[in-house]
Structure 1
Amino acid sequence: MSLTRKQFLQRLLFAGAGCALPVALRAQTAGKPHYDFYFTRLMYESGDWDVDQRMPSNVLNSLIEYTNLKVDPKEHIVPLADPEMLLAPFCYMAGHKLVEFTEAEARNFRDYVNRGGFIFVDDCNHDIDGLFAKSFEAQMVKLFGEDCLQKLPDDHDLYRCFFQFDELPVTSFELNGWGDDLVHDYLKAIVVNGRIAVLYSNKDFGCEWDYDYRNKRWLAIDNTKFAINIVIYALTT
């Protein structure tokens, strides 16, 4: 029997490490049946996809720390052009440089999104006028049409699906004045059938979370908590 979103969240929070995934998510993770979640980084032929290399292990550690998910501790790197990415419960894409999809990459990105997948895309330049931002947004227009990326409202479920956030967290890179010298107070998203399918950030969260997880003890506030919300939203909507 499949679980409702509320039941699944209750199991994540209270039921212990043996929680089961809903039927739809079990189908998505069929290649890795002993894990509830695994982190997939998308490799694309243009640009520099291999950034913030310590971020995935830090986020995975936080998922283990704060939730009861059975988490694969390894990052999975999958070419966007590979049909294997269509099975991932969550995908991450980032970079500084040009984004120009091949035909196979464009087809898989579009199909994954339209089939109910979730892709978190983070601009490492944290710059709305930078090369990554302009070229990625142009690719989205080609695939999904004009105005496909919309600002995410402050009251969206993403901000309270696990931890409560009254406002979007800022990053130290924004505060230090790098990039476009702005603090971005919003995220953008492509919404399909009422849920976020592509979450797009100019805030450089990837670099913000790019440190050895053991150094988290020096932080007054654990800045990876927002990453937990992103993953939980991806799995439960």
Structure 2
Amino acid sequence: MRFNLNLFLILFASFAFSQNIAVLKYNGGGDWYSNPTALPNLVKFSNAQINTKINPQIAEVNPNSPELFSFPYIYMTGHGNVFFNSEDIKNLRLYLKSGGFLHIDDNYGLDQYIRPELKKLFPNKTLEILPANHPIFSQVFNFPNGLPKIHEHDGKPPQAFGIFEDNRLILLYTYESDLGNGWEDQAVHNDPEEVRLKALKMGANILHYIFVK
């Protein structure tokens, strides 16, 4: 039997943590690596506050990689251009239809680029606005008005959009909220603690929705 190092590492990590998450390393020139402290801070908060057991070591994964299927939650952010080639589309679509979850968090400037790529990914589906009574807004922490506003950009209201497969939310697009900025170290954006806490609580709701529901 051939030794599989990657499988061994995944199994070894699972002794301490039940799940791993990753950042999507997409092509097109956009800064997929934005907000480097965001996910580690969110995982730390979630593990401490709502008893998730997520590995604090955040992976990076390409959309066409078989490793995509090792991560129940994939986070995507940035400000600029995004491009999914045919292999990216095929792999991402299979990943999402097979039980995966993609959270796209607009870091301001991503919207005009990601929407055409999502039409390539799911030509027959549309982004649906999640109502404020969707369970993701009340998993653990209650957000009666839906997605919170963390950073002001164009003065637009925050919106959460979803793509569904057989009534299952498989893709969440958070727009005009900038949750990732709120998850970052306080010194990065100098956000008031109550704003950061609001972002972290909403992020914890998302993780709870994926891992605990």
TM bin (shorter chain): 0.7 to 0.9
Q: In the alignment, what sits opposite 1:149?
A: 127
Q: In the alignment, what sits opposite 1:53?
A: 36
2:151 to 173, 180, 183: 173
Cα distance in 1 between the residues matched to 2:150 and 2:132: 21
2:127 is the counterpart of 1:193: no
Deviation of 1:212 (Å)? 5.1
1:210 to 184, 195, 200: 184
State the TM-score, normalized to the length of structure 2: 0.83
Which blocks of at least 5 consecutive residues in structure 1 are unaligned? 1-28
2:77 is the counterpart of 1:103: no
Which deviates further from its counterpart, 70-79 or 204-213? 204-213
Q: In the alignment, what sits opposite 1:227?
A: 203
1:91 to 55, 74, 93: 74
Q: In the alignment, what sits opposite 1:133?
A: 111
* Secondary structure at the counterpart of residue 88 of structure 2: helix
Cα distance in 2 between the residues matched to 1:236 and 1:36: 11
* Secondary structure at the counterpart of residue 151 of structure 2: helix
Cα distance in 1 between the residues matched to 2:151 and 2:58: 24
1:40 to 22, 25, 32: 22
2:65 is the counterpart of 1:82: yes
**What is the number of equivalent residue pairs in this alignment?**
197
- Asked if the contact 1:160/1:229 (under 8 Å) is kept, the reply is yes
* Secondary structure at the counterpart of residue 58 of structure 2: strand
- Asked if the contact 1:89/1:118 (under 8 Å) is kept, the reply is yes
Cα distance in 2 between the residues matched to 1:31 and 1:102: 33
State the TM-score, normalized to the length of structure 1: 0.76
- Asked if the contact 1:171/1:208 (under 8 Å) is kept, the reply is no
Cα distance in 2 between the residues matched to 1:33 and 1:119: 21
- Asked if the contact 1:58/1:212 (under 8 Å) is kept, the reply is no
Cα distance in 1 between the residues matched to 2:184 and 2:84: 26
Deviation of 1:165 (Å)? 1.6
- CA 1:111–1:32 in 2, change beyond 3 Å: closer, same or farther? farther
Residue identity opposite 2:165 in structure 1? V
Residue identity opposite 1:189 in structure 2? G
Structure 1 stretches of 4+ moved >4 Å: 29-32
Cα distance in 1 between the residues matched to 2:51 and 2:155: 39
Residue identity opposite 2:73 in structure 1? F
- Asked if the contact 1:42/1:80 (under 8 Å) is kept, the reply is yes
* Secondary structure at the counterpart of residue 71 of structure 1: coil
